[in-house]
Each structure stands twice: as C-alpha cells, then as structure tokens.
Amino acid sequence: MRRLFVLFICAMEVLWLSAQVNPKPGARLNYNQIMFECEKVKGAGIYIFQLTEDTTRASFGKVLLEQKDSSNATLISGLKFGQKYQWRCAGVVKGQPTMWKGPWLFEISADSLLHYGLMSFNVIKNEGSDAGGLIINDCSHSIVDRNGNLVWYLPKVKWHPVMNKKTMEIKPQIFDLRLTPYGTVTYLANNIATETDIDGNKLWGAPDDGQVSGSNTEAYNHDFKRLADGHYMVLGGEQWRKLPEYKDTTTVIRKYPSRKVIDGHEYGEVELPTVIEYDRKGKVVWSWKSESYVDPDVFDTTRALFERKPHVNAFSVDKNNEFVYVGFRNTSRIIKIEKKTGKVVDCWGDISSAHEPAKFVGLHRQHDANILDDGTIAVFNNNDYPGLDSFSSVLLISQKPEDSVRNYIAWRFDCDLKTLNQHNERNGGNVDQLKNGNFLVCMGNMNRIFEVTTDKKVIWDAAMAPDGKAGNTFFHRLYRAHYISSLYPCYFTFATNEDVLTAGIPHLHLKIFNKGSESDTYQVKLNSASGNSLADITSAAVPGNRSVNFDIKSNHQLKAGDLVEIEVSSKTNPDFVRRSMLTVVK
C-alpha cells in the first residue's frame, strides 16, 4: 500500500514539474515581458535560458538571447510581437551544464486593433523617473513601458466599431483597466466587471443579479477594484424606480422625463448610485445605497435634475478597511462612508447646503477619490466650466482639522501643460501616488498622462493621439491610467539543498526566490504524509528580485519511508502556493 502511495506521489510530482514549464509549449502570448520557468534540476545553482527565433532553419547554434539565473525562473523583456520563438534551459551542476530541456515553441501574437495603429502613445518627456515600471491605460486596452513601447494588451475581447456622431468609436470601451498586486487583470466593459489572468483567461466576474439595486441588473460603472483582502468592490446603481399612483400625471412626467412599463407597472428613470463589495464566491458582503443621502424625496420637483442624477464615478477604501470614499461628479462631492454603520461621516465639495454640508475644497466635476496611506485624498479636479478659460488640477485633500485654514488643500498642481485645449469638455482622470512619492496623473479624455514630483516638476509626460493616417476617424477616450512595476508583481520559486531527508529529526535548508517586482512575505509549512505539522514559519518581507534562506528544524521524529511535503505560499496572493515532496531515508 505504501509503495502504491509513493508511486502516486512520484507521478503527481512529475505532473507538477511538467506544469512548471512556462511559457507552455505552443503558447500564444499577448505580452513580451515573460517569466520563463523550467523544471528544477537537482543540485543546480545556476540555470541557463536560451532563445532563438523560430524559422525554417531555426538553430541554437545562433542563439538570439542567453540569460543566466540562480533560480529556475527568469524574466525576459523586449521580444517582438508577431514573432515565433523557441527556448530551452539547462541547470549548471558543479560548474557543468546538464542536458538541455526543450526546445519549446511559443508565439507572441499581435493585437489586431493595435496592429492597425489607430492610436499612438507618444512620450514627450522622459527624464528618467526612478519609479520605472509600466503604464496601464484603458484607452488602448494596453500596457506600455516608459518609452511608450507595447508590453501587453487585453486579449479575447470582440472589438467592433460603432458610429458616434461623425466619428467611429471602438467598442466595448474599457474602463479602469488595472493589473493588481496579485498579477491579475481587472476591468469594466459594457457594464460587466471582470477579472482575468494576464493571458486573458477569466478568473472572476461580478454576479450582476440585482441583489442590491432591486432590478434585473446592478449597472456596474466607472470603478472596479480587487481589495487587499481578496474581495471585490464596484460601483453600481439603481436606474429605474417603480412609480407610485399619482393622480397628477403631468407632474409625474415632469419629475421623470423618461419612463417605461415593466410587467405592467410604470417606472421612472433615476440615477441612484450604489457601492457593492463581493467575496470570491460572488456573495454580497457589504453594500451602500445612496438614496437616503442624495435623494430623500425623488419626487421633490424643487430639486435640480443633476441633484437627482448625481453620477458617482470613483471610490477607494482606506488601508484599515474602515471607510469608503466615494466621488459624486455632478454634485462635485466626495463623501466618507463608515463601513460598519453605512453613515456618511464627512464630506468635501465646492458648495455647502443644509442637506449636504461640505468642507469647501473648490472641486468641480472631479474624477477619482483615491485615499492615500497618510490619509489625504488624491483627486483629479476636472474644473470643467464649458467656455471658460480654466485648467484642470490635481488636489490632495487633507482630513486634518488644522488644515482648515487653507481650505483643506494639502497640495495642488495646475495642469497648464502646453498643447492642451482648455475649452474641451473634460471627462475622466485619476491620480496615483508612486512609491517614490511622485504622482502619476491621467487627464482623462484630454489623452495626457504625466508624472509630477511633490515640488511640481513634470519629469515624465506622454500623450495619446490618433495616428494621423488619412481616413482615420476613430475616436478613443482615455479614462484612467495606472502604474505597475511589472507584469509580475507577485511571483516566486523555491529550492532545497536536500534531495532526501535523513531519518530522525528533519533538518532542511530552503531558499525562496522572490522573482516578482514587489516585496512579499512567505509562509513555509512542512507536513508529514499523515498530515502532522512538522514546521510552520513566516518570513520577513523579501524585496522584489531578492531571495531569503531558511534553516528549518523540527522536533518530530521521522523514520525511513516517510514522506514530507514542503508548502510555500505568498502573503500577497494566498492562492499562489508551491509544493514539493521529499522522501525520508536511513
């Protein structure tokens, strides 16, 4: 019986090892920043990775690229879209390469829309930001490097052109494209909130079942995030409300200019925003409905239409998961909601009223409401007054009472960049703070993205524009742009010095390689095949592209023939788990 169990474990280990080969044989990739990973080689302290272009005369006698790494995974960037490649790898044991594994074929596919060059990403200024990394923009559904070179595009989307007045617009329009700290992708398209892996394989989708809105849809829009605890949060809304039986039908028409009949009942069009938090299974774990805040009486004709349609476009959650900050564009408001009570406990805006008292911060039709680690709120103030000569600005709103003397503005940057049309209608925009303290600013449909220092110096600047080819009437709207350090913020491998364990007290030397670009913490568990815990250790934070060593001892006695499982998991992404099995010998 034990022999059968050992054979089963060995078979499973072979399957697990073969699954380590990345890119998978025959893969068609939508990115050219690739984490190559090969099978572990016993005793190898160095691994060699070689690539060659895949042609009719492909040969590793003419190597296109060779890279060495102390781990069995290595990151290679800058390969060509629309090109086929072959790769192979070998371990180095006692100074000598082992037998080559591979070669394996893969292809980097060209995206059809990007291949046509409908939009160009032009870097205007690049003074070498020490933030480096990649820029995500939803306008071209892509990720580029700091020189504007394509690194990744969103695959498996059925793009199609739609007439929009005199121009042709590409649908679906992608909103709020992000690459999460887990290394997954989230975005909104056609009011659908989706999470995929970087290859475009769907991992999660918001239920959109009307649990919160009370309708047949949640009307997801504008902002969608995966939170630090693995939950998801998205903006939604109630769009239609069942009308009461009023005798004065003229008044009802005036109050609800758009109406429709559903199942024999008359409904009036409204816009009552919601915020919904889901767990991984799609269960609603928290929600907030704006009805009591923005619309105490939807039939009050004395209130302006924009007050009954306040239009929410942004939210963020503080690092302690206690408050949600929500931005209302039409009423130029940012509110602070206490999660445990659902009450609005603070408000900032351009004017104040008895119903909506607000601290004056001079907002006007703003986008974003991004709470930073120090408690300030980063906002892109569109400052959109049609026909007036005004600039958009970046505002940092302070929550400190002592900052009331300066109207709660902790920092301000006016976006008076050249080549911008100040009179265009301004939609979209966001502000992200980078690790170096600078700010990445997206100006929305002004199609401009730049990095600015805290002393207000623009050190990186880029613009998106149509390619200028004759007959190109396609129109794209940039909504948000984000920063990510690489396509692999979270990635690791591990290796052990021992191929087997000696009977008695187990002693194991283990090394974890953080191959991701962000710092991470790891949990290491040793378990016997019978399920007994032999060791459970948590590492300190390991910076990106660094490694950490463990010297693991256990007080449990092991005998020859026992099996010990090594399990290593990431704190950033608890779903990222690697395992290996060792046999105990005499």
Using 50, 70 and 90 to split pLDDT, how confident is the model at 10? very low
Read off the pLDDT of each residue in 271-291 and give the average, rounded to a whole number: 94
Contacts of 517 (CB under 8 A, 6+ apart): 133, 485, 486, 488, 489, 544, 545
Answer for the pair 442, 449: CB distance below 8 angstroms, yes or no. yes
pLDDT in tens, 179-205: 999 999 999 999 999 999 999 999 999
Higher pLDDT, 446 or 313: 313
pLDDT in tens, 163-172: 766 667 778 8
Percent of the chain with pLDDT over 70: 85
Q: Is the pLDDT of residue 112 over 90?
A: no
Same fold for the pair 112-484 and 491-586: no
| Amino acid sitting at position 525 | K
Using 50, 70 and 90 to split pLDDT, how confident is the model at 16? very low
Cis geometry, peptide bond prior to residue 244 (ω within 30 degrees of 0): no
Give strand pairing partners of 478.
Answer: none
Quick one: DSSP state of residue 445? Answer: G
Give the distance between the most distant pair of CA atoms in the chain.
Answer: 93
Q: Is the pLDDT of residue 422 over 80?
A: no
Please give the pLDDT value at position 17. Answer: 36
| Amino acid sitting at position 327 | G
Answer for the pair 440, 434: CB distance below 8 angstroms, yes or no. yes
Neighbours of 444 (CB within 10 A): 24
Residue 52, φ and ψ in degrees, nearest 5: -145, 155
Neighbours of 58 (CB within 10 A): 16
Domain ranges of the chain: 1-110, 112-484, 491-586
Residue 108, φ and ψ in degrees, nearest 5: -105, 105
Using 50, 70 and 90 to split pLDDT, how confident is the model at 116? low
Please give the pLDDT value at position 506. Answer: 81
What whole-number distance in Å separates Cα of residue 21 and Cα of residue 73? 9
| Average confidence score pLDDT of the chain | 85
Q: Is the pLDDT of residue 91 over 90?
A: yes
Higher pLDDT, 242 or 273: 273
H or E segment at 2?
Answer: helix 2-18
What whole-number distance in Å separates Cα of residue 338 and Cα of residue 13? 48
Using 50, 70 and 90 to split pLDDT, how confident is the model at 54? confident
Please give the pLDDT value at position 304. Answer: 53
Read off the pLDDT of each residue in 126-136 and give the average, rounded to a whole number: 90
Please give the pLDDT value at position 532. Answer: 85
Residue closest to 135 by CA, chosen among 434, 378, 417: 434
Please give the pLDDT value at position 476. Answer: 66
Q: Which string of DSSP letters, residue by residue, matches 401-428? A: GGGGGGTTEEEEEE---TT--TTS----
Encoding tokens for residue 15? Answer: 């399957």
Q: Tokens 């009942």 label which residue?
A: 265
Give strand pairing partners of 315.
Answer: 326
CATH classification for the domain delimited by 491-586, as one of 2.60.40.1930, 3.40.50.300, 2.60.34.10, 2.40.30.10? 2.60.40.1930
What whole-number distance in Å separates Cα of residue 191 and Cα of residue 189? 5
What whole-number distance in Å separates Cα of residue 447 and Cα of residue 306? 26
Cβ burial of 181 (10 Å; 0-12, 13-18, 19+) is middle
Quick one: DSSP state of residue 446? Answer: G
Tell me how far the alpha carbon of residue 403 is from its chain's centroid: 33
Q: How far apart are the first and last CA of the chain?
A: 20
Please give the pLDDT value at position 9. Answer: 35
Q: Is the pLDDT of residue 446 over 90?
A: no
Encoding tokens for residue 40? Answer: 């572990």
Q: Is the pLDDT of residue 145 over 60?
A: yes
User: 3-state SS of 522-576?
Assistant: EEEEEEECCCCEEEEEECCCECCCEEEEEEEECCCCECCCCEEEEEEEECCCCCC
What whole-number distance in Å separates Cα of residue 164 and Cα of residue 476? 11
For the ranges 113-117, 304-308, 581-585, the maximum mean pLDDT occurs at 581-585
Encoding tokens for residue 102? Answer: 């591979």
Of 122-131, 265-274, 351-360, 573-582, the one with minimum mean pLDDT is 351-360
Answer for the pair 533, 526: CB distance below 8 angstroms, yes or no. yes
Q: Is the pLDDT of residue 296 over 50?
A: no
What whole-number distance in Å separates Cα of residue 474 and Cα of residue 168? 5
Please give the pLDDT value at position 439. Answer: 97
Encoding tokens for residue 385? Answer: 């007054």
Read off the pLDDT of each residue in 16-32 and give the average, rounded to a whole number: 82
Please give the pLDDT value at position 272. Answer: 84
Please give the pLDDT value at position 256. Answer: 63
Contacts of 569 (CB under 8 A, 6+ apart): 522, 523, 525, 576, 577, 578
What CATH number was assigned to the domain covering residues 1-110?
2.60.40.10
Please give the pLDDT value at position 167. Answer: 67
Using 50, 70 and 90 to split pLDDT, how confident is the model at 364? confident
Give strand pairing partners of 101.
Answer: 89
Using 50, 70 and 90 to split pLDDT, how confident is the model at 474? low
Of 133-147, 338-352, 434-448, 467-481, the one with minimum mean pLDDT is 467-481
| CATH 3.40.50.720 fits domain 112-484 | no
Half-sphere exposure for 273 (CA within 13 Å, toward CB): 25
Read off the pLDDT of each residue in 542-569 and give the average, rounded to a whole number: 91
Higher pLDDT, 341 or 260: 341
